[in-house]
Structure 1
Amino acid sequence: MNTADNRYDIDTDSVMFAGGEPFDVSAIGAAQTPWWNRTLCEVNNAWVRLGVMEGDFHWHKHDDTDEFFLVMEGHLDIELENQMISLTPGQAFTVPKGIMHCPHARARSVVLMIEQAGVVPTGN
């Protein structure tokens, strides 16, 4: 996938694990460097993605789909136009469709995301 920012290592062309295949999310995250982002598996037309982040992403939105974030490691702030959501391990937040947001990983962070299959992670 081509992105506007060359530091992003985002792949949406493949799913890493098929249904019925076990995998270790923590080990996968530990083996990656920022800004790695992959689809771990697909569940009922939704992608379960893992992102390893550090620093600021960019302002973007998803016009037709919500985006769920679950912090597994680190600290993720999700800046919205009118508020800042601050998440630590075990905490989660769903950005509603059409809402501009900008994720900020305050240190190396590993984040599980769930979004509609086919979504462009960098936004519309």
Structure 2
Amino acid sequence: MKQALSPAASAAALSEHWSPRVIGDLDDNYIKVAKVLGSLTWHSHDAEDELFFILKGRLRIEMEDGAVELSEGQAYVVPKGVRHNPVAEQECLLMLIEKKATLHTGDTVTGKTRSIAQQLG
């Protein structure tokens, strides 16, 4: 039997902040969800764009030339090569669409970095 995805429910069920989980794939892209709070890290993805869609809450994406503020139901695509740092002042649920090769924190590795294997759970 076919099952519909529920990105908001999948994100809400996560127990760890900044630890995305893959909930589906679309051609060469993963559909991921995450529960976030605080700041991730400054990073970039040299060869891939990254779509952020806010399921619940608010997210600020800081970039070197300014920031974008997103609220529930809004989306933003960070273009490839743009250094950015996602920040949530309060807990936020989000959906991401990224190429399957996209590294979680791009060119930067921190304690919050998750491998693709970890994201596939």
1:88 is matched with 71
3-state SS of the aligned residue for 1:58? coil
The residue correspondences of 1:14-33 to structure 2 (distance < 5 A) are 20-33=2-15
Any unmatched runs of 5+ in structure 1?
Answer: 1-19
Deviation at 1:28, TM superposition (A): 1.4
Task: Report the CA distance between 1:21 and its aligned residue.
Answer: 3.7
Q: Distance in 1 between matches of 2:69 and 2:34?
A: 17
- Taking every aligned residue pair, what percent have the same amino acid on both sides? 31
Aligned length: 105
The whole-number CA distance in structure 2 between the counterparts of 1:105 and 1:30 is 15
TM-score normalised by length of structure 2: 0.82
Which one has a larger percent helix, Structure 1 or Structure 2?
A: 2
TM-score, normalization: structure 1?
Answer: 0.80
Instruction: Say if 1:50 and 1:112, in contact at 8 Å, map to a contact too.
Output: yes
Match of 1:113 in 2: 96
Partner of 2:35, secondary structure, is: strand
CA RMSD of aligned residues (A): 1.1
1:60-113 residue CA offsets vs partner (Å, 9 max, x unmatched): 000000000000111100000011100000111000000000000121001101
Alignment of 1:30-41 (within 5 A): 30-33=12-15, 34-41=17-24
- Aligned counterpart, 2:87: 104
* Structure 1 match to 2:111: none
Alpha-carbon distance in structure 1 between the residues aligned to 2:77 and 2:6: 23
